[in-house]
């Protein structure tokens, strides 16, 4: 066995083990997010949830899967089409009951979009200072372009998000069908359609819907390149470039294409060629914005300048794990120089992390709890805009959202354990897991919020559908 083969095996097992370990943390974190619980009770519930999940994974409970698969297969795309249609109606229904009220960051994206519609310029006034590249431009510019055609209507974020949902569902169905069959494809579609956090978030002007679509589509396209040729690698690169303009951290995503190439046994050369094509396409998509930044600053700024501020506010003695307006030291004194502000934030954060490794690890654990602990984001923010984020209805919907989250993780972990041979041998399967672990790592270092885990829902829906497959995991190939 060659070194490359050994490395590929190690990478695939690392993705599987890492995702399993992260998943089990939900059973320790989530019950305490529904209702405040003593530490020992949380640990006991976590151990119980883990034990039940492992028992389900190892049990051979007979289910009429073959019969269900046959029924679903005869209906073709009608079943999945009906599920997607139901998901669309559910989202429109929720938005009708709770018309979108853009607050917090959602309001900022909305205002930036309106500003771009009116001026065709992208900038932001921050504490009296004009910053030109603070946020990535992708999402507000997209909304602004739509507004140039239709006007600044409140329905634009909801309709665009629902379109993103439909396309995401089609990609997820395609991947689930390819890996596990027709019945799992239906299950994955249903999970996405009726996921409380996902549908309740539909009306908000936030990046989660489009970012989820771009991440899963880029992986799908790069995988397709192995069969259909380099145009799909080009598409994967274009998608990654667009995603980078939505959230700058996606700039590192071609690294996972490289890992895919290493893990795809016997096809390393073609995989590296496709990775190079994807990187070139990504650079070409991002380059015009980088050139615009150079014309303003006289220095290279690939996408945005908010990394330093975010990193420092997330890593200092006053950091809470989630959003904080200021750190211990006054970073905003450098706002008059946008690049100095960014550089100083990065320097101060690195100084604190290196000087306080123990505190940094404790803070990272807290960020992981925030990221993985609850799934009520959609209910919270859509109802908060109407001052209804209190009372019995809110508490019930919020608790149900997090119970759903825990239930999905039971299916995910059962799927991972039962299908461990597939993930240990599949470049596609491992890359799906790495794409989710990527966000876990990012938000264990930077600021964390529950809504930041939303983009991994597409991967989770696929993995959660695997226990319903009639196929033998070890027989499924990329």
Query: Residues 381, 104: contact at Cβ < 8 Å?
Result: yes
Looking at residue 1, its pLDDT comes to 64
For 232-286, what is each residue's pLDDT tens digit? 999 999 999 999 999 999 999 999 999 999 998 778 889 999 999 999 999 999 9
Residue 411 within a domain: yes
User: Could you tell me the pTM of the whole model?
Assistant: 0.95
Structural domain including 33 reads 3-54+75-304+356-475
Distance CA 263, CA 56 (A): 29
pLDDT of residue 63: 77
All residues at 6 or more sequence positions from 213 whose CB lies less than 8 Å from its CB, including other chains: 164, 167, 168, 171, 458
Q: What pLDDT was estimated at residue 472?
A: 79
Task: Find, among 106, 26, 31, the residue nearest to 378 by Cα.
Answer: 106
Looking at residue 360, its pLDDT comes to: 97
Q: Is residue 311 part of a domain?
A: no
Establish if 438 belongs to a structural domain: yes
Q: What is the tens place of the pLDDT at every residue in 11-50?
A: 999 999 999 999 999 999 999 988 888 889 999 999 999 9
pLDDT for 69 equals: 84
In a domain, 272, yes or no: yes
Look at residue 179 and tell me if it is in a domain: yes
Phi, psi torsion values for 126, nearest 5 degrees: -125, 110
Asked if the structure places residue 350 within a domain, the reply is no
Q: What SS3 state is found at 438? A: helix
Is 259 inside a domain boundary? yes
pLDDT > 90 in the chain, percent: 85
Domain count, the chain: 1
The low-confidence residues of the chain, meaning pLDDT below 70, are 1, 474, 477-478
């Amino acid at each position: 066995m060659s070194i490359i083969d050994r490395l590929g095996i190690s990478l695939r097992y690392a993705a599987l083990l890492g995702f399993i370990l992260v998943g089990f943390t939900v059973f320790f974190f989530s019950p305490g997010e529904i209702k405040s619980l003593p530490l020992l009770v949380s640990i006991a519930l976590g151990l119980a949830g883990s034990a039940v999940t492992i028992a389900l994974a190892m049990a051979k409970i007979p289910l009429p899967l073959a019969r269900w698969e046959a029924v679903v297969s005869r209906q073709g795309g009608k079943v999945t089409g009906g599920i997607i249609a139901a998901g669309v109606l559910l989202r429109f229904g929720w938005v009708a009951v709770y018309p979108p009220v853009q607050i917090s960051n959602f309001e900022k994206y909305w205002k930036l979009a309106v500003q771009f519609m009116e001026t065709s310029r992208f900038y932001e006034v921050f504490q009296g200072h004009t910053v030109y590249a603070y946020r990535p431009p992708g999402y507000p510019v997209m909304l602004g372009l739509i507004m140039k055609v239709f006007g600044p209507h409140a329905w634009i974020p909801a309709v665009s998000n629902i379109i993103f949902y439909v396309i995401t569902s089609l990609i997820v169905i395609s991947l689930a069908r390819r890996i596990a069959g027709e019945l799992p494809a239906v299950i994955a579609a249903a999970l996405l359609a009726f996921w409380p956090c996902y549908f309740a978030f539909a009306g908000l002007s936030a990046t989660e819907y489009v970012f989820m679509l771009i991440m899963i589509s880029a992986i799908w396209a790069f995988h397709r390149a192995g069969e259909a040729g380099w145009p799909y690698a080009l598409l994967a690169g274009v998608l990654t470039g667009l995603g980078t303009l939505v959230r700058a951290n996606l700039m590192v995503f071609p690294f996972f294409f490289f890992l895919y190439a290493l893990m795809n046994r016997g096809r390393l050369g073609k995989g590296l060629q496709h990775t190079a094509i994807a990187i070139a396409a990504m650079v070409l998509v991002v380059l015009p914005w980088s050139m615009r930044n150079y014309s303003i600053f006289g220095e290279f700024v690939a996408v945005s300048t908010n990394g330093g501020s975010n990193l420092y506010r997330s890593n200092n003695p006053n950091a809470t794990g989630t959003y904080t307006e200021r750190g211990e030291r006054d970073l905003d004194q450098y706002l008059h120089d946008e690049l100095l502000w960014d550089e100083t934030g990065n320097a101060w954060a690195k100084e604190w992390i290196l000087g306080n490794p123990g505190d940094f690890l404790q803070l990272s654990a807290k960020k992981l709890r925030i990221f993985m602990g609850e799934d009520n984001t959609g209910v919270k923010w859509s109802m908060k805009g109407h001052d209804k984020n209190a009372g019995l209805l809110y508490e019930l919907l919020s608790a149900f959202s997090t119970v759903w989250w825990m239930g999905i993780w039971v299916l995910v972990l059962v799927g991972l354990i039962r299908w461990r041979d597939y993930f240990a041998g599949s470049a596609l399967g491992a890359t799906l897991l790495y794409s989710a672990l990527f966000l876990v790592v990012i938000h264990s270092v930077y600021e964390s919020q529950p809504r930041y885990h939303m983009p991994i829902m597409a991967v989770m829906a696929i993995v959660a559908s695997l226990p319903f497959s009639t196929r033998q995991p070890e027989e499924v190939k990329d």
